[in-house]
Structure 1
Amino acid sequence: MFKGLSFISKTMLFFNVVLAITTLMAYLLPFLAPKWFPFLSVLTLFLPFFLVLNLMFFLFWLIQFKKYIFVSGLVLLLGITFINKFYNLQATELPKSDKDFTIMSYNVRLFNKFNWYQKANIPAQIAQFVADKNPDILCIQEYSDLEKTKFSDYKYQQIFKEGENIIVGNAIFSKYKIIDKGVINFPNSTNNAVYADIIKEKDTLRVYSMHLQSIKISTDIEDEKIQKINESKTKYIFRKISDAFTKQQEQALLLKAHYSDCKFKKIICGDMNNSAFSFVYRTIKGSMQDTFEASGAGFGKTYNFKYYPARIDYIFADKTIQVKSFETLNEFYNSDHFPLISRLEIK
């Protein structure tokens, strides 16, 4: 295989083969429960990076007219269904109709309750932003009941908060009548999901606002003074992520079991704290549409991570609901997450 190659080409081919094998392993992970392969499940976070590197190797061998182009070429071909979960070239904007409604999902990070950002009046800014966008249904994660963010324009509400030192929860605000509502508490966790059954003309919609287990890497590293722990920082981070993914698996299965018993059309919104290449994503999405895949553009970045376009917040909709537009509102930065908004029509 290496015969006749220069040292540089041999080195490139070696790393190309290692990358290809690693990428193929990452392709399988959405089908494998994290509790069985907790450390390997972390690879799903890096799958977009692997795809980009494979594309670079593909172009490298193409320029040289070398047969080794097939190594990454085959990997990219096998992973073509993953690409639009990571990046879409162009947004879809279908014509508006009287039956359209909009839904927004936003992790507000407690409305900056602990002054993570040195900006004035963030609760009021978020309230004004929501008023300007004027979604028909609003799903909030990490909700904190602050006076300036009551969203009083929404007559119908489902709010669940709990905690002792930090009161936090999920909420759904609706301009349409709510006829039933509830909460799904996740065991051994402060995370949960709320739901509301909403009347939209002749249809009933079941809307969920979910917040799955957080990884909390940066906070824990600082609080526990990781430099004093007798293990490497990298190993510690991988363990934290894999532990969180294992909990997310349990939470995802609970949520799926709950919505599987629902006969209404469903929309699931919220912060999954995991990528679109994960077992958790595949479990919760099921046969529903990812509204970013259907109508979004670009990387769909929903979390303000400096070096990586992380997409960990989602709006899923039943296939009986037409996705007419989708947007990640990256220009509005008052949380560590960005708001998502989608225009839909029940068919």
Structure 2
Amino acid sequence: MSRTVVRRVAKVIMITANLIVVVLFLLACISPYINPSKWWFSGFTGLIFPFLLLALIFFTILWLFARPRLALIPVITLLIGWKQISVIFAWHPRAGFSKEHPADVLRLVDWNVHGFNGADVSDVKRNIVHELSSSIIRLNPDVVCLQEFNTAESEDHIKPFLKDFPFYFFSDDVDGNRSYQSGCIIFSKYRIINSGRIKYPSQESLVFADIVRGNDTLRVYTTHLQSFKFGKTDYSNLAKIKNQEDEHLAASKSIYRKMKTAFNLRGGQADVAHDEIAKSPYPSIICGDFNDVPNSYTYFRIRGNRQDAFLKKSFGIGRSFIALSPTLRIDYILPTDHFEVKQFDMVDEDLSDHIMLVTDLVLKK
């Protein structure tokens, strides 16, 4: 086969691959506007968005050297998707984080504590509740929002926080006849004058607390949206798929079913959260584990016109979940424009499968 023929075949293959990536990228770009409860496939395209972005950058560089005119295909596609690209990467490399806590600053911590099972359920730490509460208290926050929090009559997990945060509201989504409770909790140094729980169609809920700080009242929401509910078997199945083992087809079906269910449920939960937070009579902040990436219907629906503290004051892709993929930013702090975001940080204490978020906010006068 002559070199000319080889080149032509290679060119056709690369152009075809480029066009496939373009189509998938454009589908991912519209996924924030399509409720996955109506079209679940949009959830999958949002998950692979960062990889599609890298592929388009690769094709841009390739065509610039090989066929400059063809570089217009990936470049125009990237421009079309700029809004989605802008929520992936934060551009503040020198922002840093100071532990100093000025009087006018509201410091908020958000963390999915993984049911106090540690970063890996196979290696549960004995004193994890005290280690976790101590790592939070060291930051001297004013408000703490925790997801996958649990407590029981036999082991009170609320108690270690009460000295520093005497006010709290607990969603109590899972109630085991009062002997065991699980859900989201909001702790506060300041008085809570009102609180509530808005239940989703599934087990999870959205909770809020109205907090009085000086002459100001603000509302803090936190939530934990539907996860994929992957267990040890599912992570083993993912390894089988990755390694192309014989059982990978059956494994794929199991993973697919769980992901499809989660996408469907999160779409409805995002709608409920959007409608409820719009009712706030006060400047508000919503934070929590959305279990979805920035290029998702969930993120765009809940965020609306709010600020993203990570995008305002951080740098990088902001991975907040340590399993599966290095691209998973699924935990957020989203204040309204009533606040100025002063600083933001992500703190990995190796005490959960999620990374702790902390931000300093100032209420504008």
- Asked if Structure 1 and Structure 2 have the same fold, meaning a TM-score greater than 0.5 normalized by the shorter chain, the answer is yes
Which residue of 120, 134, 144 corresponds with 2:140? 134
Query: d(CA) in 2 for partners of 1:94 and 1:306?
Result: 28
The aligned length equals 343
Change (3 A) 1:235 1:175: same
User: Does 2:192 correspond to 1:178?
Assistant: yes
**Maintained 8 Å contact 2:307/2:337:** yes
Which residue of 42, 47, 56 corresponds with 2:58? 56
Tell me the residue number matched to 2:263: 245
Query: d(CA) in 1 for partners of 2:17 and 2:236?
Result: 37
Larger CA deviation: 146-155 vs 239-248 = 146-155
User: Does 2:118 correspond to 1:105?
Assistant: no
Give the drift of 1:13. Answer: 1.3
Change (3 A) 1:128 1:237: same
Larger CA deviation: 210-219 vs 13-22 = 210-219
Tell me the residue number matched to 1:232: 250
Which residue of 174, 188, 211 corresponds with 1:198? 211
Q: In structure 1, the residue corresponding to 2:26 is in which secondary structure?
A: helix
Code of the residue aligned with 2:109 in structure 1: it is M
**Maintained 8 Å contact 1:170/1:194:** yes
User: Does 2:346 correspond to 1:344?
Assistant: no
Query: d(CA) in 2 for partners of 1:244 and 1:90?
Result: 33
Which residue of 123, 132, 138 corresponds with 2:129? 123
Query: d(CA) in 2 for partners of 1:125 and 1:336?
Result: 15
**Maintained 8 Å contact 1:85/1:293:** yes
CA RMSD of aligned residues (A): 2.8
Identity of matched residues, %: 29
User: Does 2:137 correspond to 1:158?
Assistant: no
* Unpaired stretches in structure 1, ≥5 consecutive residues: none
Give the drift of 1:9. Answer: 2.4
Tell me the residue number matched to 1:19: 21
Code of the residue aligned with 1:88 in structure 2: it is A
**Maintained 8 Å contact 2:117/2:124:** no
Larger CA deviation: 162-171 vs 113-122 = 113-122
Code of the residue aligned with 1:36 in structure 2: it is K
Change (3 A) 1:231 1:306: closer
Tell me the residue number matched to 2:320: 302
Give the drift of 1:230. Answer: 12
Query: d(CA) in 1 for partners of 2:157 and 2:251?
Result: 40
Give the drift of 1:97. Answer: 4.9
TM-score normalised by length of structure 1 = 0.90
**Maintained 8 Å contact 1:102/1:136:** yes
**Maintained 8 Å contact 2:227/2:291:** yes
Give the drift of 1:250. Answer: 1.3
Code of the residue aligned with 1:181 in structure 2: it is S
Code of the residue aligned with 2:260 in structure 1: it is S
Q: Deviations over 1:137-195 (max 9, x none)?
A: 000001112446530210111112223396311100111111101111112x2211211
User: Does 2:309 correspond to 1:291?
Assistant: yes
Q: In structure 2, the residue corresponding to 1:168 is in which secondary structure?
A: strand
**Maintained 8 Å contact 1:23/1:51:** yes
Query: d(CA) in 2 for partners of 1:309 and 1:203?
Result: 37
Q: Deviations over 1:16-46 (max 9, x none)?
A: 1100111001101110111221123211111
Which residue of 315, 330, 334 corresponds with 1:312? 330
Query: d(CA) in 2 for partners of 1:176 and 1:136?
Result: 7
Query: d(CA) in 2 for partners of 1:305 and 1:24?
Result: 27
